[in-house]
A = this chain, B = another copy of it.
């Protein structure tokens, strides 16, 4: 062990493989020391010269890029990096990367796979119980000293028996389903296509799903097809007793329409971890009582960060030693 540490320390940073970072992902900040033992980072965000010039300067040497989901990797960025061969993103979602341009340019992409799926599913269930049983409001009630004055807290709604509609039955959706079955909920779903191995009822679109359930949980990826998929028609099909939980991406929901439905009581409540224009949240939502909001933190646990650090490092190490990526997005 001592030997190993010495061997790490003996590497001068300039001998370590070089990775470009435009803006530091959270995991980079949390595990910077550990990352620096393995890689040398070109930190575009610390440079005083404009990003484009920074990229042009280093263009020839940059073969690997680490990014998070809030750094768009557009065709324009890719054009500046002709030697780029791998992008590792600290997200499960890929909507910030121009994937067709990557394919065309022979650039491999690795995401963090299912590292977050359990945490995100836990958060979905936590937000849902919170909305149904008004835990956040109850906490406010007690802390404001209202219990001795106003007496019993209003009745909540029971989770057991609720009809849950999962929008997008990927790894997160399946984890949500597994959890909510243990609460005696019934599960149905919509997805690009019916999954032959799954016995939950399938609906061909979100609107039909919404018409047949009490609660919609959004678990799909943001793509051109899913943008604003949860629109006025879907929310109206869900109805006045309906609840929306979104732990996927804000833009899958037509946020203006959601705000209107919540304000006018056209749906009953919402638990939202994601928003269309983060970190900005529509001000109308800040004053509503029938919603619970969290700041896109469904993936933020110490355990996920450790797993994510290991997976990102593993992907970069695999790339630099000409091995297969651990969590490739394209078939290799």
* Bound complex: CA A153 to CA B279 (Å): 11
Given contacts A135-B294, A138-B297, A182-B182, contact A304 B129 (CB under 8 A): no
Max chain B CB contacts within 10 Å: which of A136, A142, A301, A305?
A: A142
- The complex places the Cα of A166 from the Cα of B127 at a distance, in Å, of 23
The answer on a CB contact under 8 Å between B183 and A302 is no
Q: Are A142 and B286 neighbours in the complex by a CB distance under 8 Å?
A: yes
Q: Are A279 and B130 in contact (CB under 8 A)?
A: no
A323 within 8 A of B: no
What residues of chain B lie closer than 8 Å to A119, measured between beta carbons? 158, 160
Q: Given contacts A157-B302, A300-B153, is CB(A293)–CB(B182) below 8 Å?
A: no
Report the interface size class on chain A: 35 or more
Complex Cα distance, B139 from A127, in Å, reads 10
CB distance from A59 to the nearest CB of B (A): 30
A301 with B183: in contact, given A148-B279, A160-B118, A280-B148 (CB under 8 Å)? no
Answer yes or no: A159 CB below 8 A from chain B CBs: yes
Task: Report chain B residues within 8 Å CB of A153.
Answer: 294-295, 297, 300
Q: A26 to B293, alpha carbons, bound, how many Å?
A: 30
Question: Is A178 part of the contact surface with B, judged by Cβ < 8 Å?
Answer: yes
* Chain A 270-309: CB-based contact to B (< 8 A → 1; otherwise 0): 0000000011110000100000111101001111110000
Shortest distance from the beta carbon of A303 to any chain B beta carbon, whole Å: 4
A92 CA / B268 CA spacing, docked (Å): 30
Q: Are A286 and B143 touching (Cβ within 8 A)?
A: yes
In the complex, the count of this chain's copies comes to: 2
**Interface assignment of A181: CB less than 8 Å from any CB of chain B:** yes
CB under 8 Å from chain B, chain A span 103-139: 118-119, 122-123, 125-127, 129-130, 133-136, 138-139
CB distance from A110 to the nearest CB of B (A): 22
B118 touches A158 (CB 8 A): yes
Bound Cα distance from A297 to B26, whole angstroms: 37
A184:B295 contact, CB within 8 angstroms: no
Taking CB atoms and an 8 Å cut-off, the chain A residues in 152-182 that contact chain B are 152-161, 178-179, 181-182
22 A-B pairs with C-beta separation under 8 A: A119-B160, A122-B133, A122-B158, A122-B159, A125-B183, A126-B129, A136-B136, A138-B293, A139-B293, A141-B294, A141-B295, A142-B281, A147-B278, A147-B281, A148-B279, A152-B300, A155-B302, A157-B302, A158-B303, A158-B304, A179-B182, A179-B183
- Which of A's residues lie within 8 Å of B, judged by CB? 26, 30, 118-119, 122-123, 125-127, 129-130, 133-136, 138-139, 141-143, 145, 147-148, 151-161, 178-179, 181-184, 278-281, 286, 292-295, 297, 300-305
